[in-house]
Structure 1
Amino acid sequence: MRILIIGGGGMVGQKLAHNLALSGTLGNRKIAELTLADAFAAQTLSSTANFPIKTVVADITNPVIAQSLITNKPDVIFHLAAVVSGEAEANFEKGYSVNVEGIKNILEAIRLTGNGYMPRLVFTSSVAVYGGPYPEIIHDDFHLQPRTSYGTQKAISELLVNDYSRRGFVDGVSLRLPTICVRPGKPNKAASGFFSNILREPLVGIEAILPASKSATNYFASPRSAVGFLVHAANLDTSVLGDNRAMMMPGVWGTVGDEIDALRRVAGDEIVALIKDEPDPVIEKMLSNWNFPDITSARARALGFKAENTLDEIIQVHIDDELDGKIPGRSK
């Protein structure tokens, strides 16, 4: 089978590619070719695969380029590419161009290929599609009322995936991802980035800025879980989904204070002391539009999607996967 990862140069795309390279299969099918497409050159995978891996620089806001990605008819397409939340809010036109026109161009390229071509498309949506006022718990049938441009763009994209799937052009699944935490590497432009920063930097002995209140809430899952969601979705029997191809992925609800408490339990007071409060009104305003309650994710859980159960587990996954099981920021 042929696999295309759009957004293959990003953190989740790279981790997914490594997973596929190591396994050599997706479900019970052998991988014949993997293509990583992104707006910039994706780094070469360090793991050895028994199939060719290609990297392509591609601007999916250009319909001709989007069509070129579908020329060899990939069997599975992971659409991970996006302008993240903070940047989508700051640059309105870019957010809609990439986050809405990009997925529409890919869907149109699939439709226009025709001749019975109907690949599995796994699209990464976001918890940001929700907006208040919230009930005590968000259930699967809770309405979408996003209060940011990013959330609106993701909600529009979900509807496109639903409609193209209903019409038989594509076999789509939209995964509403929790905030992925702890993100390795450097901070990005996501408004939610600090949820990772306040854990990642202290664990390696670097001060981290906390720009929001400790009462701010979010819904979390690790990068390892994110890859698991994507692989599971690629193998899912979509006939059980009906016309609604979108679902909220499992995760762990918590406040910033809960994150800090978990970090203290896992790594100690010395590490927690590296977190410095510096309120940022812009970040705090955006967070007030989220302020999520707990989310059941019952539909996804019933279909076999799995994530961590505690913030302590999420932090330990980061230590194991990114820090070789050690905490370098802690003095001997």
Structure 2
Amino acid sequence: MNILIIGGGGVVGQKLATALARKGRLRGKDIARITLADIVSPAPVNAPFSIETKVCDIADATSVAETIAQDDDVIYLLAAIVSGQAETDFDLGMNVNLHGPLNVLERCRALGTCPVVVFTSSIAVYGGEVTDPLGDHSNLNPQTSYGGQKAIAEILINDYTRKGFIDGRGFRLPTISVRPGKANLAASSFMSSILREPLNGVEAVCPVDDNFLHYYLSPRKCAENLVIGAEVAASDLGMNRCMQMPGRTWSIRQLIDAMTAVAGPEPAKLIRWEDQPEVRRIVSGWKWDIHADKAERLGLGADDSFEDNVRYYLEEDK
């Protein structure tokens, strides 16, 4: 079993590679090789089998063709330009988030090997006039360029699967929190930074009110779900291969209360409240009353509490 993780240098890619290395098997076969590919050379992970790293620009069809090998059995397509950056730089978002997946799918079609392709979409595909609650059969009505690019890629995943070019499955990720590392250009970045920075003794800014509701999942649980998602039998996926990954809805106040319950009262004192209209404009169009019935039936799950999300960060990343 050979696995390629495109976006293998990111938070989820690294967590996924580590989870696969611990498991040692996927789809009933021993893992022989994991290849981590990203726009810059990813960090390798410890594993009892071969770990390779490659530089890959998914916006470049030649780079993609050089990265995806004939013997890659499972391809995780995680690489993307994040929401805020895709909104401000339309061309870059289109090249990476739309043409990038198309380059990957076209390479798979040219190889003729029908690999399993696991694609990470986003809850940003929901929005606008779609009626709550939302679920796997809700109309996609994105209100950002990022959401639109992800929605189009979902359609491509379904069609390339229907044609027999790939065995695709796509999962709309909740906002992943608490993410390690530094803040990025995602509009949702503050949903980690208002916890991560205070837990490290650094001030953070929250640009929305404490009653702001959103849909969350921890990096650890996301990686576990992506492993399960690759193993689901094609016959169980039905005619729509893209679905919502489970998460849970909490308010900003509940996130902060969870941090306080785990780490005490001091971190919360480092949060400064400051309205940021551009961030608020983007995130206010996102939906939060979301249900992942199909994925839950297939064995994927959400975190039990946001306290768990905080503990995972402290145990694995701080």
Q: 1:316 aligns with which of 307, 311, 318?
A: 311
Alignment of 1:149-188 (within 5 A): 149-188=145-184
Distance 1:90 1:53 in 2: 36
Give the corresponding residue for 1:330.
none
Alignment of 1:170-209 (within 5 A): 170-209=166-205
TM-superposed CA distance for 1:22, in Å, is 2.7
Alignment of 1:59-138 (within 5 A): 59-114=57-112, 117-138=113-134
- 1:262 corresponds to 2:270: no
- Residue type matched to 1:203 in 2? L
Alignment of 1:154-303 (within 5 A): 154-290=150-286, 292-303=287-298
Give the corresponding residue for 1:326.
none
Q: State how many pairs are aligned.
A: 318
What percent of counterpart residues are identical?
46
Distance 2:111 2:131 in 1: 43
Give the corresponding residue for 2:15.
15
TM-superposed CA distance for 1:11, in Å, is 1.0
Give the corresponding residue for 2:32.
32
TM-superposed CA distance for 1:134, in Å, is 4.5
Distance 1:267 1:136 in 2: 34
Given the two structures, how large is their TM-score scaled by the length of structure 2?
0.96
TM-superposed CA distance for 1:183, in Å, is 0.1
Deviates more, 1:146-155 or 1:67-76: 67-76
Distance 2:56 2:68 in 1: 12
Any conservation in 2 of the 1:144–1:155 contact (CA below 8 Å)?
yes
- Residue type matched to 1:3 in 2? I
Unpaired runs of 5+ in structure 1?
A: 324-332
TM-superposed CA distance for 1:17, in Å, is 1.3
Q: 1:55 aligns with which of 47, 53, 56?
A: 53
TM-superposed CA distance for 1:136, in Å, is 3.8
Distance 1:71 1:229 in 2: 25
Any conservation in 1 of the 2:262–2:307 contact (CA below 8 Å)?
yes
RMSD: 1.4
Deviates more, 1:167-176 or 1:204-213: 204-213
Unpaired runs of 5+ in structure 2?
A: none
Give the corresponding residue for 1:5.
5
- Residue type matched to 2:241 in 1? R
Deviates more, 1:144-153 or 1:213-222: 213-222
Any conservation in 1 of the 2:215–2:250 contact (CA below 8 Å)?
yes
Any conservation in 1 of the 2:194–2:205 contact (CA below 8 Å)?
yes
